Every structure is written in C-alpha cells, then in structure tokens.
Chain A
Amino acid sequence: MTKKRLRRLNWFYVPAVVLMLVFIAYPLFNAVYLSFFKWNGYSVDKEFIGIANYISMFEDKVFRSSLRNTLIYGFVCTLLQQVIGLALALFLNMKFKGRGIVRTVIYMPAMVSGLVMGYIMYFFFQTKGGVMNDILNAFAGTSYDWLGNSTAAIGVIVFVNTWQFVGVSMVIYLAGIQGVSQSYLEAATVDGAGPWQRFRYITLPLLHPALASSVIYNLIGGLKLYDVIIAMTDGGPAKRTHSLATYIANRYFDAERAGYAAAIGVFSFVMIMVISMIVNAYFRKTEVKY
C-alpha cells in the first residue's frame, strides 16, 4: 500500500487514543499533580505541600501494613495459584471419565464478581453462624474468630482469591500441556525416560510461555485486589487487612485526604509497573526457543 494511504490509515486509531488520553492519561497526570497538595477532595482550595504526602506515607503505620499486605496478596496468591493450578492441570489432563465436568466446575468461580464471592465466603468465615465454625464445632467443639484476627483474616483473603481464580491458571496450563507435542514425549519414552523425567525435562520447559502468562495475570490480579477485601473485612480489624487499593479509597473518601490518597496511588502505580516489568523481563530472559 502507498505511504500516503498508510498515513491516512492512522486516523483509525485516533478515537481510541483520545478516549484513553481523556480517561486514563489525563487522570494519571492529575493524580500525580494532586499528590503534591493537601486537599480534602471537594473544596475549591488546596494547599501545595510539595512531597510532604510522600514523606508521611512512610510514617504511616497503616500504609506500611497495607503495603505488606498488598505484596502478600500479590505474591502468595500467585505462588499458590501456580502450584495448585499446574497440579490441577496435570491431573485433569489424565484420561478419566468426567474430567470435563471437574474442569468446568473449577473455572466457574471466575465468572462471579469478586465482591459477590467475598460475600459468599463471608457466610463461611463469619464467627457466628459461619460454615467453618459449624464444622469446627461439630468436630472440635470450639469456634474461631476467622476475620477478627488480622493474621487469620489475611490468610482467609489469600485463600478466597486463590480458590476463586486458580481455575484461570489451570486453564492456561492445560492449554500449554495440550500444546506439548506427543512426539517429544514418545521419543523420550523410547529413550527410557520415566514419567517424572518426561515432566521435568520436556513438559515443564515447554510450559514456559504458559507459566509467564499465568504468573503475570495472577500477579496483577493479586496486587490490585480490592473487592474481596471490601466484602470480607472492609480493611478491618483495626485497618490491618487493607491492601493499598482499599487504603487509597479509604483515605480519599473516609478520611477526606485526597492528596494523600493520590500519593499512595502514584506509589502503588509505580510499584505495580516496576514489578510487572521485572517479572516480564525475567521471563523473556529465561525463554527457551525450540
């Protein structure tokens, strides 16, 4: 096609770019700008305070625990989802009747909003009348305050998010496993490789692209975790289960510290960006070509 024609073709992406400029790029710059102000979020005047918001972040205990929790939600969930997801994929790749039903059911929770899933799980982990305590009561005669203790509550949130989205990893790994050519495996069998060796030296390296996709998907999902926390603990007890995402919303609307919320937002934006870039670069470096 002619050069002129190609240049005219560029008009085609103008609407998309304009939409993203107005609703993403401009707000992003706006957020950075506001992070240098002391502002309650609605009044006309705001006071320029330089990087004071960023400094107070590191003196804020709740910020530090939210940061730690965000990393836990991100990395622990991702790790669990890879291990369990891969195990499920390997299991459900075996031949037996009804494995299709098992796959269907495991992926199903991904269809449900995180908020609703949080509420469903609240029915399980509620102290009074929760299903978990009913079971505990029946077997051990005691009950446990799952969501009243921050360590346990963080564990519960990690469990719920992992449980809900492990199906996604499973599906990605299954697609990867199905893409491994049978001829490689047969050749290895002929050469005397056992099942473990076949998995370790053939299937696993060939799953690299699946691993990369699944890790990035889960990592971003975990680092931005929001609705499950809102539904289950709303950041409590004593603000100890907040993620950065829920804490931003909390500072902005409940504490009316918009400038401070913006600063936390900018921080977590940069953090997620850097983490994904490092992880991406790592996977690109370790990629094997066949």
Chain B
Amino acid sequence: MKKPKMQERGTVLYQEEKEKMPLRLKDWWKYLLGLGLVFLYLFPFYVIINVSLKEFGDTSSRMQFPDPVYWGNFQKVIEAGDIFVGIRNSVIITFFVLLLEIVVGCMAAYALARNQSKVNEIVRSLIMSVMMITPLTILVGVYSTMSKIHATSTYWGMVLLLSAFGLPMVIFLYTNFISSIPVALDEAAAIDGASNFQIFFRVILPQLKSVTVTVIILQGVGVWNEYTYSYYFLQKTEMRTITLVIKTFFSAVSNDYGSAAATAVIGMLPLIVLYLFLQKYFIQGQVDSAIKS
C-alpha cells in the first residue's frame, strides 16, 4: 500500500450550506428532480414505519397509511424487553470498542508518525493491508481462535475482535493527523525533560479532538450496525446486540412483521437522529476515511 502522505489527498473539506440560495422559476426542473430524489430515499423509511403501525391482521397495502394507527407493536416489543437487552449490549460493546480503538490506535499512530524508520514503514504497510481483509474470508480461523480462548458470547471477546478489525482505519486517520503536528513541539517538551508518555499525553493528545470525533462517528456507526461477527460470536440470548434482536424478530416463524418493523424502527432511530443533528461531522468523517487508498 502506498504510504499516505500527509495532506496529499483528503484536504478537501465538505462544505456546509452557508450562502443563501435563490428561488428562481427557471430552476423548476431542479426542484422537481430534487423532490423525486427525496421521495425515492424517504419512501422505504415511510413503508417500514407504516408496517410498524399496523395490526397483525391488517392486510391493506404497505403504502397505505395505517387507519387507525396501531401502537400495539411498539407496546408488545417494549413489554417483551428483548430490545432493551439488545440496546444495552450494543451500547456496552460500542463504547468499549471505541475506547480501546482510540487509546491503542492513537498511541500506535504516534509512534508510527514520529519514528519513520524502515521497520516502522513495514509495520505500517502491514497494518494498512489488514484493511483489505474482510471478516467472512477468515471466519473459520477466527471462529476456532475465539473458541480456543473461550471468547465466544463474552463482551471482552467481541470488543477485542471488533477493535482489531477497526484499528487499521483508526491508525490511518490518527497517523495522518499527527504527521501534521510540528515535531518541534515534541522536541521542546523533550528538552524540558518530558518522557515519551508525558509528551504524548500533554502535547499530542489534547490536539486530537477533531480527528477523534471522526473516529467515534465512523467506527461507532460500524460497530452499532455490526452483524457478521456478532451473529456467530454472541449466540447466548442475553448477549444479543440490537441488530441480532432485530434479526430474531424478522426470522421468527410467526411472520409478525409489525413487531419486527417496530423493533427495526427503534434500532435505527438512535443513529438516524444523531446523523440528522451532527450531519456535518458524519459526512466529513466519511470523506476523510474514504481517502484511504
């Protein structure tokens, strides 16, 4: 892999709307096309909300607004309580994966950005090439490893596994960022007698806020929505994450799509709400991370 030179790519900032847009008649086709796109992208969300608000026996079209609106599915799902177990597990796993990735990732990135020896270049290329390993290809190996160390259906096993797979991206983002911090700052602190650890915690860490936000958003979305590994390694009912709870509802033989849809709606809601409020950061994070080749 090519070594990502700082600021070579990825300097492009996604700009938010600031200027006032004119409302002109000759732009009619833009509004028409824009409206069509909004419809195309909101319609599936409308349908799943619709289904979640219909009673089991209601055979009206899924496009038709529920009449009357039936809240029973949500009530049922909340009373069953599985969804809260799922949310709790997802929150715990997401939190600890992020914590581990940030601590371990930015420490590694600091060393790799500052000490660009030959050996470290190899270490870095190897870490970056891990980004191309997709989870399923080594499923058999991961499964037997996880069983051997008794890590299946445990929080720690899942956290360590997901962190390992997320780390290359995290290290990539931090290395790029740290390379842009002048070495002179480290050197000044070193002359003052600070140890590597002190320099890292006092000089470098405080400057990493913006890139850490990117890491949290990017990896947070990934871990919250994770399904592949969770399905195989969190098989105990009480360990299921929100995605697995949703799957259970959908694959239940009863075909109770109303409850399944209600669960899916609750499961999607946190990220969508966060996205709508913090859009700028989500999109900037996406742009930063995609510039990874």
Q: What is the distance, in angstroms, from B74's C-beta to the closest C-beta of chain A?
A: 16
In A221-241, the 8 Å CB interface with B consists of: 223-224, 226-227, 230-231
In B237-253, the 8 Å CB interface with A consists of: 243, 246-247, 250
Chain A residue at minimum C-beta to C-beta distance from B275: A111
Chain B residue at minimum C-beta to C-beta distance from A122: B250
Q: Is the CB of A100 within 8 A of B17?
A: yes
Of A56-64, A147-155, A184-192, A207-215, the one with at least 4 CB within 8 A of chain B: A207-215
Q: Is the CB of B264 within 8 A of A120?
A: yes
Of B36-44, B65-73, B208-216, the one with at least 4 CB within 8 A of chain A: B36-44
Instruction: Tell me the complex Cα distance, A105–B279, Å.
Output: 11
- Check B140 for interface membership: any CB of A closer than 8 A: yes
Q: Which of A10, A31, A114, A117 is within 8 Å of B140, CB to CB?
A: A31
- Check A19 for interface membership: any CB of B closer than 8 A: yes
Q: Is the CB of B138 within 8 A of A27?
A: yes
Chain A residue at minimum C-beta to C-beta distance from B135: A224
Q: Is the CB of A217 within 8 A of B141?
A: no
Q: What is the distance, in angstroms, from A100's C-beta to the closest C-beta of chain B?
A: 5
Instruction: Tell me the complex Cα distance, A114–B243, Å.
Output: 10
Q: A17-B123, A28-B141 are in contact. Are A12 and B30 (CB under 8 A)?
A: no
Q: Is the CB of B51 within 8 A of A123?
A: yes
- Check A194 for interface membership: any CB of B closer than 8 A: no
Q: A105-B38, A115-B247 are in contact. Are A249 and B21 (CB under 8 A)?
A: no
Q: Is the CB of B141 within 8 A of A105?
A: no
- Check B165 for interface membership: any CB of A closer than 8 A: yes
Q: Is the CB of B33 within 8 A of A131?
A: no
Residues 27-57 of chain B, each 1 if its beta carbon lies under 8 Å from chain A, else 0: 1001101100110011011011001000000
The number of residues on chain A lying at the interface, defined by a beta carbon within 8 Å of a beta carbon of chain B, is 108
Instruction: Tell me the complex Cα distance, A101–B42, Å.
Output: 11
Instruction: Tell me the complex Cα distance, A249–B233, Å.
Output: 13
Residues 250-278 of chain A, each 1 if its beta carbon lies under 8 Å from chain B, else 0: 00110000110110011011001100100
Q: Which of A22, A116, A172, A252 is within 8 Å of B243, CB to CB?
A: A116
In B86-123, the 8 Å CB interface with A consists of: 104-105, 107-108, 110-112, 114-115, 117, 120, 123
Q: Is the CB of B140 within 8 A of A258?
A: yes
Q: Is the CB of A272 within 8 A of B138?
A: no
Q: Is the CB of B47 within 8 A of A124?
A: yes
- Check B283 for interface membership: any CB of A closer than 8 A: yes
Q: What is the distance, in angstroms, from B54's C-beta to the closest C-beta of chain A?
A: 11
Q: Is the CB of A10 within 8 A of B115?
A: yes
Q: Is the CB of A226 within 8 A of B62?
A: no
Instruction: Tell me the complex Cα distance, A59–B200, Å.
Output: 56
Chain B residue at minimum C-beta to C-beta distance from A137: B61
- Check B293 for interface membership: any CB of A closer than 8 A: yes
Q: Is the CB of A276 within 8 A of B132?
A: yes
- Check B1 for interface membership: any CB of A closer than 8 A: yes
Q: Is the CB of B283 within 8 A of A34?
A: no
Residues of A that sit less than 8 Å from B by CB: 1, 5-13, 15-17, 19-20, 22-24, 26-35, 41, 88, 91, 94-102, 104-117, 119-124, 129-131, 134-135, 168, 171-172, 174-176, 178-179, 209-210, 212-214, 216-217, 220, 223-224, 226-227, 230-231, 244-246, 248-249, 252-253, 258-259, 261-262, 265-266, 268-269, 272-273, 276, 280, 283-284
* Additional pairs, 5, CB under 8 Å, beyond known A13-B112, A96-B22, A111-B271: A11-B111, A27-B142, A31-B141, A230-B227, A252-B139
Residues of B that sit less than 8 Å from A by CB: 1-2, 9, 11-17, 21-24, 27, 30-31, 33-34, 37-38, 41-42, 44-45, 47-48, 51, 59, 61-63, 104-105, 107-108, 110-112, 114-115, 117, 120, 123, 127, 129-130, 132-145, 160-161, 163-165, 167-168, 171, 183, 186-187, 190, 196, 200, 221, 224-228, 232, 243, 246-247, 250, 257, 260-261, 264, 267-268, 271-272, 275-276, 279, 282-283, 286-287, 290-293
